[in-house]
Amino acid sequence: MHQIVKQSKLISWIPVILWMALIFYLSHQPASSSNELSSGVMDVFLNAITTVTSIDIDLGIFHHLIRKSAHFFAYFILGFLVINALKRHMPIKWKGVFLSLVICILYASSDEVHQLFILGRSGEVRDVFIDSTGSATGITVYILLGKIFRKIYSHLS
């Protein structure tokens, strides 16, 4: 039984590592490839928006928002995954929340340093802030969903 618990703890980190690898892969792309990817995403959103509304959109601002939203949501998921993995090791009290956030902030910081060495990319403190906000939001959503599910479960029992 102890071995199963130990394996469960290790397995819970696999999604975290895979997600970090995806972030690293996307950060490792030269600026031209990264811009091409975000432009493709932007086109999908623009087509959807212009189909539904007649809003005139500034493409430069919209492209910037898409790129920064990608930072937020990538780290939202990372925060969610990290606190889920940590939950297998410790009760999620303030210490667990703090540790989850520290892991995400350190990874965001290392990601921005990594980008300093990629053609056409830069490391931005602003992006670390956006990433950290996404992580904190993901952690908060995880905690809130846990409380909601526990309340539902306790009412069903």
Average pLDDT over residues 126-147: 97
Q: Do 66 and 79 touch, CB atoms closer than 8 A?
A: no
55 lies in a domain?
A: no
pLDDT exceeds cutoff 70 at 18: yes
88 lies in a domain?
A: yes
| Best CA proximity match to 9, nearest among 87, 119, 79, 92 | 87
Range from 28-42, 68-82, 86-100, 114-128 that averages highest in pLDDT: 68-82
57 lies in a domain?
A: no
Average pLDDT over residues 112-137: 94
118 lies in a domain?
A: yes
Tokens 């403190």 -> residue: 125
Average pLDDT over residues 131-156: 94
* Domain extent at residue 106: 2-30+71-156
Q: Of 21-25, 51-55, 64-68, which range is least confident?
A: 51-55
44 lies in a domain?
A: no
Cβ burial of 134 (10 Å; 0-12, 13-18, 19+) is: buried
Q: How many domains does the chain have?
A: 1
**Per-residue confidence (pLDDT) for residue 138, from 0 to 100:** 98
115 lies in a domain?
A: yes
* Residues with Cβ within 8 Å of residue 124, at least 6 apart in sequence: 112
138 lies in a domain?
A: yes
pLDDT exceeds cutoff 70 at 2: no
Higher-confidence residue of 42 and 140: namely: 140
Q: Of 9-18, 35-44, 96-105, which range is least confident?
A: 35-44
Q: How far is CA 17 from CA 11, 23, 24, 133, in A?
A: 10, 10, 10, 20
* Per-residue pLDDT reduced to its tens digit, 71-104: 999 999 999 999 999 998 888 889 999 999 999 9
pLDDT exceeds cutoff 60 at 116: yes
**Per-residue confidence (pLDDT) for residue 52, from 0 to 100:** 75
39 lies in a domain?
A: no
